[in-house]
Structure formats: structure tokens, C-alpha cells
Amino acid sequence: MRIGSYEFRPGFVPTLAVVLVLPLLTALGFWQLDRAKETQAYLDSLHAGRQAAAINLNTTEPEYSVAQHRIATARGRYDSTHQFLLDNQVYKGRVGYHVLTPLRLSDVGAAVLVDRGWVAAPFDRKVLPDVGVPETERGVSGVIDKGPSVAVRLGRAYVGQGDWPQRIGYVDFSYIAQALPYRVTPYLIRLDPDAGDGFVRVPPKPAMGPEKNLGYAAQWFAMATAVVIIYFLVNLKRRVNDN
């Protein structure tokens, strides 16, 4: 292709490199744009949950899509016999568990899991921490959530040996519903920081703002643009006058 006194003559190797690299850089840019939308939606949900009226789980059981991140109150009795220890939860550099205790709701016939917080794991991993709690009737409050996250979900949720409390690798409400002898809601309450009968309350890590995702997207698109410009300049040759 001729452009004035220059001729564009791309070689095979640089063309192949561009064909391989350019789609990747572009895809990473659009991925960051999608992440920005997801992050903004999450932050909007957090804000909406804080502004919404509290939910009384003794009188209503909304879908998670309606209840997520809202304050919830519940009255009932903890089931100290059937508790779950969410494994591999790190706090200040130490491995431990999040203690998930069913609260059997008064006059309802169902239960909701309560994340009572983080507790350190004994150095002997065969020994489980003492997470017993009185089963007297009480009221609890906290934020409705899906539970603490884990890096990777591999295999089945249950990683224990058949005894209670059960050690689980991740929160799987389908498994939890099968393990308990009563109905349980498909979400949990993250116990208030100042509530009793809990352990270390670890708030969820704040989401990275969407502006950072947009910044990363701009970087990927800028790199893609630079690749195109470099490819064009490297393969643009001055025409030799044959006369």
C-alpha cells in the first residue's frame, strides 16, 4: 500500500504478533469496563441497603435479590449443636474460621444462619475451637449477606470428618440446607459489631471503586492503540526512486 513517498509493507512476524496481541489488549479493556459496571452496581446495592427499612425475618422471608445488604432483625434460639466453621479465613495474618450458627426463628419453623465472626484456628488443625453458645431466646440484628468469600471453590463444601461443628470450605446453602434438620434461608445475617455471643467481627473488604477499573481500561486501550501505531510506523518504508 502506497502513501505518498512511502509504502506500507508489513512483515509476517510483526503482523502475526499484532493479530495475537491486539485482540487480547482490547478484550482486557472491555473486561475492565464490565468490572466497573459490576463494582458500581455493588456499591449502589450497598447504599440502597443502608437506606432501606430493616427487615424482620420473623414476619417475612424476602428473596435475596430484595434483601441483600439490608439490615435484618430476627428473634430465636441459636442451635449450638449444628454449627459450621468456614475454613481458611485470615485475620491479621492468622488463619481461622468464620463461625456460622443457625438461629431457629421463633414461631416460624425455619432458621437463618448468623455469621458470629472470626475465631482463630488452633495450631493443631485436628482440634476445632470452642464455639458453643447458650440456646436461650434472643434477638439479633445485622446485615443480610451471602457470607464471606473464598479464593477458589474446589470439590465439595464439607471438608470435615462427620462431627459437629462441621468444617466447610465455602458457603454452599444447598449443602447447608441438606445438613440441617430444618429449613434455612438461602442467605445469612452478618452479626452487628456490638452484639454479644460473637467473635471478631470482620467487615467485608470495600470494593475497589469503579474509577480504578475505568483507569485500567484506559491503560489497556492505550496499549492497544500504541501497538497499532508502532506496527504502522515500523512497516512504513520510504519508496526507492527507480529512475
HEC states along 34-72? HHHHHHHHHHHHHHHHHHCCCEECCCCCCCHHHHCCCEE
- pLDDT tens digit sequence for 185-196: 999 999 998 888
Return the C-alpha cell found at 190: 452478618
Q: What would the grid cell of residue 235 be?
A: 512497516
* Type of residue found at 14: P
Question: What is the structure's pLDDT at 44?
Answer: 77
Q: Do 158 and 166 form a contact (C-beta atoms < 8 A)?
A: yes
- Is residue 158 very low, low, confident or very high in pLDDT (cuts 50, 70, 90)? low
The answer on pLDDT for 45 being more than 80 is no
pLDDT above 70 (res 240): no
Band of the pLDDT at 55, cuts 50, 70, 90?
A: very high
Q: How far is CA 156 from CA 15, 94, 159, 167, 181, in A?
A: 46, 24, 7, 11, 20
Indicate the average pLDDT of the chain. Answer: 85
Residue 157: pLDDT band with limits 50, 70, 90: low
> For residues 180 and 9, what is the distance between their CA atoms, to the nearest angstrom?
70
**Secondary structure letter of residue 76 according to DSSP:** E
Reported for 170-173, long-range contacts at CB under 8 A and 24+ positions apart, including other chains, are 170/86, 171/86, 171/100, 171/146, 171/147
Q: Where are the domains of the chain?
A: 2-41+209-238, 53-191
Cα–Cα distance, 23 to 27 (Å, whole number): 6
Q: Could you report the per-residue pLDDT of 2-39, keeping only the tens digit for each?
A: 655 667 677 788 788 888 899 999 999 999 999 888 88
- Rounded to 10 degrees, the C-alpha dihedral 174/175/181/183 comes to -20
- What is the structure's pLDDT at 231? 82
Judged against a pLDDT cut of 60, whether residue 209 lies above it is answered with yes
Show the cell assigned to 46.
450497598
